A and B are shown apart, each in its own frame.
Chain A
Amino acid sequence: MEYTLPLSSIIALLVPMPLLVVFSIVSLFRQSKETEDKEEAVASPPSAHPIAEKRNIS
Chain B
Amino acid sequence: MNYITLTVFVSYFAVLFFIGYLAYRRTTNVEDYILGGRQLGPVVGGISTGASDMSGWLLLGLPGAIYLSGLSEIWIAIGLAIGAYLNWQFVGKRIRVYTQVANNSLTLPDFFENRFRDKSKSLRIIASSFILIFFAFYISSGLVGGAILFEATFGISYITALIVGSVIIIGYTMVGGFFAVAWTDFLQGSIMFLALIIIPVAALTTIGDWGNSVNQIGSISAEHLDVFAGTTTLGVVSLLAWGLGYFGQPHVIIRFMSMKSTKDITVGRSIYTIWNVAALFGAIFTGFFGIAYFADAPLANPETVFIEFAQVLFNPWVTGFLLVAVLSAIMSTISSQLLIAASALSEDLYKGFIRKNASQKELMLVVRLAVLLISLFAIVLALNPDSSVLSLVAYAWAGFGAVFGPAIILSLFWKKATKNGILAGMLVGGITVIAWSLLSTPPAGMGQEAAVIPFYLYEIVPGFVFSWISIVAVSLFRNNVSQEVIDEFNAVNASKI
Contacts and interface: CB of A to CB of B under 8 A. Distances in A.
A27 interface: yes
Interface string A9-43: 10011001110110111011001000100000000
Contact of B225 (A9, A20, A23): A9
B376 interface: no
Contact of A16 (B81, B219, B222): B81
Nearest to A6: B226
A24 B82 contact: no
Interface of A: 1-6, 8-9, 12-13, 16-18, 20-21, 23-25, 27-28, 31, 35
A9 B81 CA distance: 17
Contacts of A2: 215
Given A12-B227, A17-B277, 4 more contacts: A17-B81, A20-B277, A23-B273, A28-B270
A29 to B, nearest CB: 10
Nearest to B46: A24
A21 B74 contact: no
Tell me what chain A mostly uses at the interface: helix, strand, loop, or mixed.
Answer: helix
A9 B227 contact: yes
A28 B277 contact: no
15 contacts: A3-B219, A5-B71, A6-B225, A6-B227, A12-B75, A12-B227, A16-B81, A17-B78, A20-B85, A20-B277, A24-B85, A25-B270, A27-B269, A31-B263, A35-B263
A10 B228 CA distance: 12
A31 B78 contact: no
B61 interface: no
A13 B280 CA distance: 11
A23 to B, nearest CB: 7
Nearest to B75: A12
B214 A24 contact: no
A27 B274 CA distance: 13
B210 to A, nearest CB: 9
Interface string B281-300: 10000000000000000000
The 8 lowest CB-CB distance pairs between A and B, nearest first, are A3-B218, A24-B270, A24-B273, A28-B270, A12-B227, A9-B227, A17-B277, A16-B78
B74 A18 contact: no
Contact of B71 (A9, A25, A31): A9
B202 interface: no
B273 A20 contact: yes
A12 B225 contact: no
A24 B222 contact: no
Nearest to A31: B266
Contact of A12 (B71, B269, B277): B71
A14 to B, nearest CB: 11
A25 to B, nearest CB: 6
A25 B253 CA distance: 22
A25 B272 CA distance: 11
Contacts of B266: 27-28, 31
B217 interface: yes
A3 B81 contact: no
B267 interface: yes
B259 interface: no
B77 interface: yes
Given A2-B215, A3-B215, A28-B270, A20 B82 contact: yes
Contacts of B71: 5, 9, 12-13
Contacts of B228: 8
Contact of B81 (A20, A28, A31): A20
Most chain B CB within a 10 A radius of its CB, from A16, A18, A20, A31:
A20
Given A16-B81, A20-B277, A9 B270 contact: no
A7 to B, nearest CB: 10
B277 A21 contact: yes
B270 A12 contact: no
Most chain B CB within a 10 A radius of its CB, from A5, A8, A24:
A24
A28 B78 contact: no
Contacts of B273: 20-21, 23-24
A54 B211 CA distance: 70
